[in-house]
Structure 1
Amino acid sequence: MLRKLYAWTLSLAGRKAAEVWLAVIAFVESSVFLVPADVLFVPMALARRERAYRYAFVATVSSVAGGIAGWLLGYYAYATIAAPVLEFYGKLEAFERLKAQVTEEQLNLLLVTSGLAHLPPIKIVTILAGVVHIKLWHFIVSAVIARGLRFYLLAFLLRRYGEAIQAFVEKRLGLILGAVAVLLVVLYVAYKMLLG
């Protein structure tokens, strides 16, 4: 099922309404959808490199709006809507464990790591932020920074280097952003250990 979903998402890049689809995919990725917006963003930015930053803007705004929807689901409709969605994806048990253990500081870190590198998936963190009642303005600022950094970095690389960087972006950028996310976690743990 995931391959079909991925292929369908990728097929949207060639359509006239690709920019609208990018907004839709970026929105639902941040709250309920399994396939990242990058799948659509990368071929679109390669096909029309002069629009890469415009696409980054659309993806960032839509992703943040989707994150707000995820936050609202967690805050107001966890039991009735969010929990069944998480159960559908087989993530409810892991989510419940995370919810029971996460501190506000750790959640702030997760907002950054999920926005940059999908560690953990952004939809999990947006819902979790609502469930644990992170202030909405704080959530929005974190999402704008993390998601904006991801999409604008992609736009910069694809606009500047074009197809020559495509394989790197598809295979290694996620690893690099993942490494940055892990580094942030390590720095956080080291900071906490130094404090006591």
Structure 2
Amino acid sequence: MLRRLYDWTISLAARKSAEYWLAIIAFVESSVFLIPADVLFLPMALAKPNKTWRYAFIATVASVLGGIAGWFLGYYAYEAVAKPVLELYGKLDSFEHLRGTTSADTILLLLITSGLAHLPPIKVVTILSGAAGVNIWLFIASAIVARGARFFFLAWLLKRYGEPIRDFIEKRLGMLAGLAAAILIALFFAVKYFNA
């Protein structure tokens, strides 16, 4: 099922309505969808390099708005809506553990790492931010920085290197971003606990 969903998402890049689909996918990825918007963003940017920055802007704005929707799901509708969605994706147990043991500053760090590297998945962190009552304005600022950095960095790579960089982005960039996110998290906890 996941492979069909992935293939369907990629097929949207060839449509005239691709920009709308990019906005929709980026929006729902931040609150409930499994497939990252990168899957649609990459082929669109490679097909029309003159619109790469526009696509990055669309993806960033829609992703931040989707994150806000995820925050509201967590804050106002955790039991009725967010909990069943997390259960559907098999993330409820890890979410409940995070919710019970994570401070607001750690949640903001997770928002940045998930925005940059999908670690943990962005939808989990946006819902967690609302459920934990993270300040909405701080959440929005962090989401803009994290998601904007991701999409505009991808746009820069594609503008600079074009099609040859696609394989690197699809296969290795996620691993490198994940490694950078893990280092950032480790540094955060090291500073937090050594200064405690």
- Measured on the aligned residues, the alpha-carbon RMSD in Å equals 0.7
Give the whole-Å Cα distance in 2 for the aligned partners of 1:181 and 1:46. 26
State the number of aligned residues.
196
Partner AA of 2:118 in structure 1: H
Deviations 1:63-117 (A, max 9, x none): 0000000000000000000001111111111111111111112111101101000
Q: Report the more deviating stretch, 88-97 or 31-40.
A: 88-97
Give the whole-Å Cα distance in 1 for the aligned partners of 2:63 and 2:113. 15
Match in the other structure for 1:120: 120
- C-alpha displacement of 1:186: 1.4
Percent pairwise identity: 62
Match in the other structure for 1:110: 110
Deviations 1:162-189 (A, max 9, x none): 1011111111111111111011111112
Q: Any residues of structure 2 matched to 1:68-107 within 5 Å, and which?
A: 68-107=68-107
Give the whole-Å Cα distance in 1 for the aligned partners of 2:157 and 2:49. 10
Deviations 1:33-75 (A, max 9, x none): 0000000000000001111110000000000000000000000
Give the whole-Å Cα distance in 1 for the aligned partners of 2:21 and 2:2. 18
Match in the other structure for 1:11: 11
Q: Report the more deviating stretch, 23-32 or 102-111.
A: 102-111
SS of equivalent residue, structure 2 residue 16: coil
Give the whole-Å Cα distance in 1 for the aligned partners of 2:58 and 2:73. 22
Match in the other structure for 1:129: 129
Q: Any residues of structure 2 matched to 1:1-196 within 5 Å, and which?
A: 1-196=1-196
- C-alpha displacement of 1:193: 3.0
Unaligned runs of 5+ in 1: none
- C-alpha displacement of 1:194: 2.4
Give the whole-Å Cα distance in 1 for the aligned partners of 2:77 and 2:190. 36
Query: TM-score of the superposition, structure 1-length normalised?
Result: 0.98
SS of equivalent residue, structure 1 residue 116: helix
Give the whole-Å Cα distance in 1 for the aligned partners of 2:141 and 2:165. 30
Runs of 4+ in 1 over 6 A off after TM superposition: none
Partner AA of 2:21 in structure 1: W
Partner AA of 2:174 in structure 1: G
Give the whole-Å Cα distance in 2 for the aligned partners of 1:95 and 1:179. 22
Partner AA of 2:85 in structure 1: V
Deviations 1:125-183 (A, max 9, x none): 00000001111100000000000000000000011111011111111111111111011
SS of equivalent residue, structure 2 residue 105: helix
Q: Report the more deviating stretch, 100-109 or 24-33.
A: 100-109
